[in-house]
Amino acid sequence: MSGLVSLVGAGPGNAEWLTVLGHRRLSAADVIIYDRLVDPALLSPYTADKINVGQLPYRHKISQAEINELMVNLAKKGQRVVRLKAGDPNVFGRGGEEAQYLKAQHVAFEVVPGLTSAIAGLAAAGIPITSDQATSFHVITGHRRANGQTLDWANIAHQEGTLVFVMGMENLETLTTQLIINGMPRATPAAVVQWATQWRQRAIASDLGHLVNVVQRGKLAAPALIVVGQVVNFMGRLTPKPPLQGLHLLVPYKAGSKLFSALQDEGASVNCFDRRIKNPLPVQLPDLTTGGTLVITDFAAMPFFLQQLHTKGLDIRALSNWKLLAMNHIVKYRLQTLGLMADGLYDPQRIDPRRPIVLIGEQERLATYHVPVKVTYLPTYESVAVDQPLNLKEFHGVVFPSSQSVADLYLSCGEFMRAELRHMPCFAMGQVVADECQKLGLRHVILVNPSYDSVIQTVKKTLRSVDDGAQTQLS
């Protein structure tokens, strides 16, 4: 049975500019085939197999023919395939070519449009593509035509409205020269927007005659949009400037994360690292009839423990003679979501050694707890490290909401990444989290009150100078 190929537009860059239908298709996909310009943060929530077929100008990682065959072969195996493209599939994204090939191979397909950078990318830099001075716009590829012919510059130079060139940075000098030769005034406002909507977005405005020199001085390069027309004059006045714009932060992945949303809303670009995988372990339950003290060292251990009770035909009532202690306030609070009220916090000096004492938690971390009395260690799960496909040099800092998230990232990194992490600004939400950071040798730990507002204000105060000069008006 043939599967389905969805040609999905990822939008201009920022992970939250994906459409609702695009999210649904990615959630249901078996395989995601994505391009190099797709923000890694966009891929974090999805469990599908991911294949990077990113293509660089003149240095194709995988040829278009190979991509076509890959989609067809996967679909004919019954797979649900998402071909994820930056921007919109049909705006110079070869969506039409791929759709024709799929049609010819009798493979079911659909096109899920995305926000094209030609419009959304300009808006991110404060440039509306139309206005009362520009009642039309034209989106033009900066590449030569496939047959080797040049663009019709005489026609393009006399078009009314806004001109937007995509994939044109390598031909910027030719582009500006041809527009001027064919009659466009040298004083026409022009701009270049690089990495639109992402943390490394930069925008420079000039006039057409000076644009090449300005771009060279500013060291802007692809991927970038080139815009020509009166709408460029809006850039200085309408540019969004949220307080964390230009910052690239790392947080642990969590579905519907409020931390992710809070930082994004303040202008930061946020990427996620994967948590370690939790695998349940077989548990030899103690004699529950005796009663005693049960210490929950981390919240994740408790659902696995309760599942073991259920397999024995028991429920929480089997613990009626047991005192429940939480390792810290976070564990105590989260136990309430299971309808459990902890009797207090764990204090090894105040625990009753005359009755059985059982510590439950993750297998490796349990071994780090040293209790001065006889106890039973009961690991209910093990954490398995996952590869973190991250370049930590691209981040300005990492936010840790829990001590477990610190361990998840650190233990999943190789030694080279650990060395980089030790020197990164690490924002620890609470003293327990800060202690865990320092325990693992992280050297730039910033203690933050465990609230989103405190995180935002502290990040702003600590990293406020990072974005200086990201947007410039030159002449």
Do 119-240 and 4-115 fall under one CATH topology?
no
pTM of the model: 0.81
How many CB atoms lie under 10 A from the CB of residue 471? Answer: 20
Give the burial string for 301-335 (b: 16+ CB within 10 Å, else e): bbebbbebbeeeeeeeeebeebbbbbbbebbbebb
Mean pLDDT to the nearest integer, 206-222: 96
Alpha carbons 197 and 147: distance in angstroms, whole number? 33
Amino acid 398: pLDDT: 97
Mean pLDDT to the nearest integer, 216-242: 94
Domain 278-384 carries which CATH code?
3.40.50
| Cβ neighbours for 411, distance < 8 A, ≥ 6 positions apart | 276, 383, 385
pLDDT band at 389 (very low <50, low <70, confident <90, very high): confident
The CATH label, of 3.40.1010.10, 3.40.50.300, 1.10.150.110, 3.30.70.60, for the domain at 4-115 is 3.40.1010.10
Amino acid 475: pLDDT: 38
- Say if residue 473's pLDDT is above 90: no
| Cβ neighbours for 279, distance < 8 A, ≥ 6 positions apart | 381, 382, 383, 384
- For the segment 128-173, what is each residue's pLDDT rounded down to a tens digit? 999 998 999 999 998 765 555 688 999 999 999 999 999 999 999 9
Q: Please state the CATH superfamily assignment of the domain spanning residues 119-240 in this structure.
A: Tetrapyrrole methylase, C-terminal domain (3.30.950.10)
The distance from CA 360 to its chain's CA centroid, rounded to whole angstroms, is: 33
Give the burial string for 165-204 (b: 16+ CB within 10 Å, else e): bbbbbebbebbbebbbeeebeeebbbbbbbbbbbbebbbb
The CATH label, of 3.40.50.10090, 3.30.930.10, 3.40.50.1700, 3.50.50.60, for the domain at 248-276+386-463 is 3.40.50.10090
pLDDT band at 474 (very low <50, low <70, confident <90, very high): very low
- For the segment 350-367, what is each residue's pLDDT rounded down to a tens digit? 888 888 999 999 998 888
CA angle 53-54-59, nearest 5°? 110
Three-state DSSP class for residue 21 = helix
Each domain of the chain, given as residue ranges in start order, spans 4-115, 119-240, 248-276+386-463, 278-384
Residue among 271, 280, 341 nearest 306 (CA): 280
H or E stretch at 444: none
